[in-house]
Structure 1
Amino acid sequence: MIIYDVENFPNPLRVRIALAEKNALDSVTFKPVDLMNGEHRSAAFLHKNPFAGVPVLELDDGTYISESPAITEYIDHHFAGPSLTGETAKERAVISMMQRRAETQVLDAIATYFHHATDGLGPELETYQNSDWGQKQHARALAGLVYFDSVLAEQSYVAGESFTMADITLWCGLVFGGFCSVGIPANLTHLQAWHDRVAKRPSIAA
């Protein structure tokens, strides 16, 4: 099993944390993708993922799986350990819903702000930018943080009382936010308390 990624980029980080939660980091081989020099746009990489994104999981039978939620779903069901995506129909639906909200309202919004309204990865890679759209997504991300603060005022984790993929996605969104100066506002105390608690998990602290 091979994972093609860029270490510490937000989506690859989601996969690495999931693997760490399942105690499976040593069960895969990581192959770095030289994204800064355009390797993700090469014919060889586009064969693995025609949308040129990382991470990509290569299974032993030659199957390629891209899109972080799909990869983490595979990881969760392939390796033993506490479920990150839910066991009952209700759990799986709630986790999927909240994971998607964390993705669209925080992680993806911050990523769009970064790529459109800042220097991003530089002019060689940022071939199209729309600053107004980036700023709109900045506002969306801040609204998303307010939403998750309200959620965490009522429960311990994003999808209930257990740590799940929804928490991993929100965490990685906040990591990305810290990189491009989108932090947790001081008044969002429930979100901050969740952040401080999750930061101590072995899968993240490492």
Structure 2
Amino acid sequence: MKLYDALGPNPRAMRMFLAEKGITIPSANINMMAAENRKPPYTDRNPGGQVPALELDNGKCIGETVAIFEYLEEKHPTPALIGTTAEERAEARQWQRRVELQITEHLYNGFRYSEGLQMFKDRMRVLPEASAGLKAIVQDKLKWLDNLLEGKQYIAGDRFTVADIILYCALDFGAGVKQSIDPSLKNVNAWFKRVDSRPSAKSSRHPDSAKSGMRGV
């Protein structure tokens, strides 16, 4: 297998997942700043153009982060980051879906349409007029999540799951692009500190993250 890696919060989420699992996979770095992920030969393997991607031994390529999580969880079930029972897996997937649809996708697009506009305007359709509203939705949904985290260690209760990884990496990135967590959200901030203290949070930073000038990658 080969992992296609890069600077960015989603590649970092993959590295954090692998660190939590104790899995090592040979990797190749893709220069997203130079848009290598948006053109051949990378798009020949992964036409979606996203990073990370996982190339299997048979040459097939999995190009969606959550799909890679699912694949590796089946291959390496311990420690479980999705779940060990049908109920646990459903709960983690429910929260993963909520986190992505209601928070992280809005956070990323809010960045792409404003601070990241020059980088993304020639790579995708951008909607600068939507940026402020998307960022406001992120804050609304973090307030919603804050109430639901009362009495919990992690998003799915006492279990650390992929939902925590996905949200943590997005919010750590967000803090560097003018989308910080509201200090009044005591439960979200306490949760963030718990996740940030995990060894995988530090080890998952890209070797070039410091010189990139970006946080949370």
TM, length-normalised to structure 2: 0.87
- 2:172 maps to a residue whose letter is V
- Structure 2 alignment gaps of length 5 or more: 204-217
- 2:27 maps to a residue whose letter is F
CA contact (8 A) 1:115 1:126 kept: no
Counting only pairs closer than 5 Å after superposition, residues 43-54 of structure 1 correspond to structure 2 as 43-54=40-51
**Runs of 4+ displaced beyond 4 Å:** 123-127
Task: Note the C-alpha offset of 1:40.
Answer: 1.3
Q: Establish whether residue 122 from structure 1 lines up as the match of residue 119 from structure 2.
A: yes
Distance 2:197 2:38 in 1: 37
CA-based RMSD of the aligned residues comes to 1.6
Alignment-derived partner of residue 2 in structure 2:
2
Task: Note the C-alpha offset of 1:181.
Answer: 1.2
- CA offsets 1:127-175 (integer angstroms, 9 cap, x no match): 5321222222111111121122112113211012110001001101101
Distance 1:119 1:75 in 2: 31
Distance 1:123 1:58 in 2: 26
Counting only pairs closer than 5 Å after superposition, residues 25-40 of structure 1 correspond to structure 2 as 27-40=24-37
2:172 to 151, 167, 175: 175
- CA offsets 1:31-80 (integer angstroms, 9 cap, x no match): 11122222112221111111111111001111100111001111222225
Alignment-derived partner of residue 108 in structure 1:
105
CA contact (8 A) 2:55 2:61 kept: yes
- Report SS of the residue matched to 2:33: helix
Over 3 Å counting, the alpha-carbon distance change for 1:178 and 1:38 in structure 2 is same
Distance 2:4 2:180 in 1: 29
- 1:60 maps to a residue whose letter is D
- Report SS of the residue matched to 1:155: coil
CA contact (8 A) 1:12 1:54 kept: yes
Counting only pairs closer than 5 Å after superposition, residues 36-185 of structure 1 correspond to structure 2 as 36-120=33-117, 122=119, 125=122, 128-185=125-182
How many residues of Structure 1 are paired with residues of Structure 2 in the alignment?
A: 203
- 1:177 maps to a residue whose letter is G
- 1:16 maps to a residue whose letter is R
Distance 1:56 1:197 in 2: 28
- Structure 1 alignment gaps of length 5 or more: none
Distance 1:123 1:199 in 2: 29
Identity of aligned residues (%): 34
Distance 2:83 2:53 in 1: 23
